[in-house]
Amino acid sequence: MKVARHTLVSDGRTDANLIPIINWTLKHAAGIELSEGVQAELWRLPEKPKSITQRLVTAVDLYPCEVLFVHRDAEKESPRVRFDEIRDAFEKAAIQLSCQSLSH
């Protein structure tokens, strides 16, 4: 049985509505039979991470997962800008996380 635990990093609390859609997508597009997702509730933190990279690193620490999703509001930017921004953040976060796991 293919199972995936995923975490959603997004801009607002209402984006939790995306989780059932992600579950559906994982099932029908990726063949994941069972997926369970949570929204990273970073607003609860006393010191909220500001950059997307830091949000990704914190989300993985607080909500370990197999798949990490990022949702960003367009805010007048083109999809390309957001895509590049997220990809760049993922690359930086991956480096930070691999450094952290090596130090542990």
Partner 1 sequence: MARLTTRDDPERVYSQLANRLSGLIGSVRGIRVDRDEKRELLTLMMTGSDGTELPARALSDGTLRFLALSVLELDPETPGLLCLEEPENGIHPDRIPAILELLQDISTDPKEPADESNPLRQVIVNTHSPSVVMAVPDSSILLAKPAKDIRDGKEFAKVAFACLQNNWRAKADPKQTIVTKGEMLGYLNPAAVIRRESSTAERSRRVIDLPELQTFFPFITP
CA 79, CA 81: separation in Å to the nearest integer?
Answer: 6
Please give the structure tokens belonging to residue 78.
């083109």
Closest approach of partner 1 to the CB of residue 78, in Å: 28
Look up tokens 């990490």; give the residue: 68
Please name the amino acid found at residue 9. V
Nearer to partner 1, 37 or 72 (CB): 37
Shortest spacing between CB 63 and partner 1, in angstroms:
4
Mark residue 4 as left, alpha or beta (left: phi above 0; alpha: psi -120 to 50; beta: remaining): beta
Site for partner 1 in 17-46 (CB under 8 A): 33-34, 36, 38, 40-41, 43-46
> Binding residues for partner 1, per CB under 8 A?
1, 33-34, 36, 38, 40-41, 43-48, 59, 61-64
